[in-house]
Amino acid sequence: MIKKLIRKILGTKNKGGRDANTPVVLGPQEHGIEPRLLSSNAVRVTSTLQEAGFEAFVVGGAVRDLLLGVKPKDFDIATNATPEQVRKLFRRAFIIGKRFQIVHVMFGQDLLEVTTFRGTTSDSAPKDEHGRVLRDNTFGSQAEDAVRRDFTINAMYYNPANEQVLDYHGGVEDIRGKTLRIIGQPEARFREDPVRMLRVVRFAAKLKFTIEPATAAPIAVMAPLINNVPAARVFDEMLKLLMSGQALACLQQLRKEGLHHGLLPLLDVVLEQPLGVKFVTLALDSTDARIAAGKTVSPGFLFASLLWHQVLEKWTAYRAAGELPIPALHFAADDVLDSQTEKLALQRKIGSDMRDIWSMQPRFERRNGKSPHKLLEHPRFRAGYDFLLLRCGSGEIDAELGEWWTAFYEGDEATRDDLVANVGRAPEGAKKKRAPRRGGRGKAAIVGGTGNPDGEGE
């Protein structure tokens, strides 16, 4: 209470010495937002709240994207209405959250998140021994809500009714300067929520913005604090990072800032090995291309690709110890998934998809009899096949295997029967190639992949 009174009397200064309690108000001519980029449901939510006597604004990343001329994927709404008051205004609205309650408003399959303006963090709010805020359900004013947001570019409010942008912390200026700047004192903000360090990386890579020096300075030292964040939150942020459309750039930025340790163990080692970096690069480039084209991406395929060389290393070790290839692969997959589930809280469905993709790889080497036809009927065949092509493309295994399966997959029944009957035979007049050894250690070669990492047909 005393802190609020002092801020009211003295004001809170932000970058440039401006009073952070008073926003800069920009009209349509100044901010240039195209109203047609707004979701009709977002306008519907804000207008419903305003007609009921409340303040309501599109907020955060949606405003940032609108200012960049990009149609936002998601629209968040901020209001001075309490969660219970919001819930009563909409037919399909659900209050969720423990740390801070929010309302999900549904229109068909379209979900909009409505949050009540948050107040400044109380010194008495529960924290862990490292200073991370565990629970803080304080409501407040719009100015206090802006202070609580992480970066200046995410702390702006847009009112569809009058088409005005309210900017408390110089977010418009930072967007125009392509600068990523945290609000407040960086060390304190990162300590409150270490996931903000991952968000810095994601936004910098995705938007191609430069991290402001004072914001970047403490990251390398404070990176270990991420180990104290619940695994489910780390997984959610990693998934956003990998599906940002700039996945490879994000991983490179993670390494640059020293944030990769513990998130994907051994990833740094993999990216320093020629075959490993080529395989991961192909997988992430394919993912980025699909996202840019508006296509779906399977998290299972993505994580199977990132962790494959850990599986491959353990698979090789188990076989060297005398295990048969198939059991050895299952043991290797178990080891990797067990370690990753603890670190990243991999969902059961994602882990199951990863295991299916990995376990199919030795089966692609069986091209006699009924085996190819049976494998073609596997519900995850397309994902396994695309994964095989990544292995061929990286030079891990012989390109001939991928070429044979492409012909088999695309051929009619007669073509498939002919391919099976002639498997391993060299074309007439050509020198017969040696078949790759079991376990995927054949001749390095390059083959073009399908670029379809979700494992579904076009």
- As annotated, the active-site residues are 74, 76, 150
Helices marked H in 293-324: 299-320
Other beta carbons within 10 angstroms of residue 342's beta carbon come to: 10
Q: Which two tokens stand for residue 422?
A: 């002639």
CB 309 within 8 A of CB 279: yes
Q: How far apart are CA 91 and CA 41, in angstroms?
A: 13
CA distance 408 to 157: 55
Crossing angle of the two packed helices 299-320 and 231-242, in degrees rounded to 10? 110
Most distant CA pair in the chain: distance in Å? 91
Q: Alpha-carbon distance 362 to 437, whole Å?
A: 11
Both structure tokens of 320: 């060297």
Residue with tokens 């003295």: 10
- List of E strands, 68-138: 76-79, 93-96, 102-107, 110-116
In whole angstroms, what is the distance from residue 134 CA to residue 156 CA? 25
Centroid of chain to Cα 39:
23
> For residues 391 and 283, what is the distance between their CA atoms, to the nearest angstrom?
10
Cα(first)–Cα(last) distance of the chain, in Å? 59
Question: Residue 210 belongs to what H/E stretch?
Answer: strand 210-211
